[in-house]
Amino acid sequence: MRLDRRLSELAFGTRKEVQAMIRQGLVMVNGQTVRDPGQHTEDADSLAVRGVPVDTRRIRHVLLNKPAGILTAARDRKQPTVMDLLPQVYSTLACMPVGRLDKDTTGLLLFTSDGELNHRLLSPQRHVDKTYRATVDADLTQEDTVRFSEGLDLGDFVAESAELVLEGPRTGRVTIHEGKFHQVKRMFEAVGKQVLELDRLSFGPLTLPGDLPRGAWRELTRKEIESLYRQVGMEEPV
Ligand code: URA
């Protein structure tokens, strides 16, 4: 790929801006200053801008502790989205949310630039578990746990069996094995309760790190990445 396109894809600026940087001698390829924006580069070439090495990986995986009040969408004309909480490079590398959390839902939101991985993690056939902590407006009962485990008819679909563990009078931890629109809220509605707060604690093999504040993000560790690919029976691309 041309050097200017590569740097632009890595969010160093528009094509014009990176061309100007290259002509000014601010860019090195494999330790040599290059002044031709059209110079061909290979994936394995090392790049540096203003003497700082560039992270050239195209595939990235990010975990965000989503705060309330932010839309899960690639972009929106009026409201802030989860993409606004990440550095620009993740948008340019199409590192996209895996599924959605409602605007008022908090907690673990995964992003990946591997489209196939994203697709498989959401595929209904794969039954990737998601666990949430829900706070509701009335006391939870053992009967609710039984009804969750039996599956719930939500009108347009029947929610599969889910585990509800009571944690407090009005707090429960629920694990679902599918991911339909507003599913957890609708399941509680079906047993006569309204969800007041919903926080996702885990997604497949990933759990929300206790030391990651709301609104903060980090890239997945090597172990976490391997566990995700294993979960969906996929080889990690090199
Ligand atoms: N279920 C819901 O109802 N809302 C979410 O954000 C996630 C799961």
131 lines ligand 1 (CB under 6 A): no
Report CA dihedral (28, 31, 33, 39) to the nearest 10 degrees: -70
- Structural contact between residues 64 and 40, judged by C-beta atoms closer than 8 angstroms: no
- Structural contact between residues 225 and 207, judged by C-beta atoms closer than 8 angstroms: no
Measured between alpha carbons, how far is 49 from 60 in angstroms, rounded to an integer?
20
- Structural contact between residues 196 and 137, judged by C-beta atoms closer than 8 angstroms: yes
Q: What is the pLDDT of residue 31?
A: 96
Instruction: Please report, in tens digits, the pLDDT of each residue of the chain (238 residues total).
Output: 999 999 999 999 999 999 999 999 999 999 999 999 999 999 899 999 999 999 999 999 999 999 999 999 999 999 999 999 999 999 999 999 999 999 999 999 999 999 999 999 999 889 999 999 999 999 999 999 999 999 999 999 999 999 999 999 999 999 999 988 999 999 999 999 999 999 999 999 999 999 999 999 999 999 999 999 999 999 998 8
Q: What is the pLDDT of residue 238?
A: 80
- What's the 39 CA to ligand 1 centre distance in angstroms? 48
Task: Extract the tokens encoding 111.
Answer: 């992003």
Report CA dihedral (25, 26, 30, 36) to the nearest 10 degrees: -40
In the annotation, is 211 catalytic? no
State the pairing for strand pair 195-203/106-112: parallel
- What's the 197 CA to ligand 1 centre distance in angstroms? 10
Q: What is the pLDDT of residue 124?
A: 87
Task: Extract the tokens encoding 148.
Answer: 């969750």
With a threshold of 0.85, does the pTM exceed it?
yes
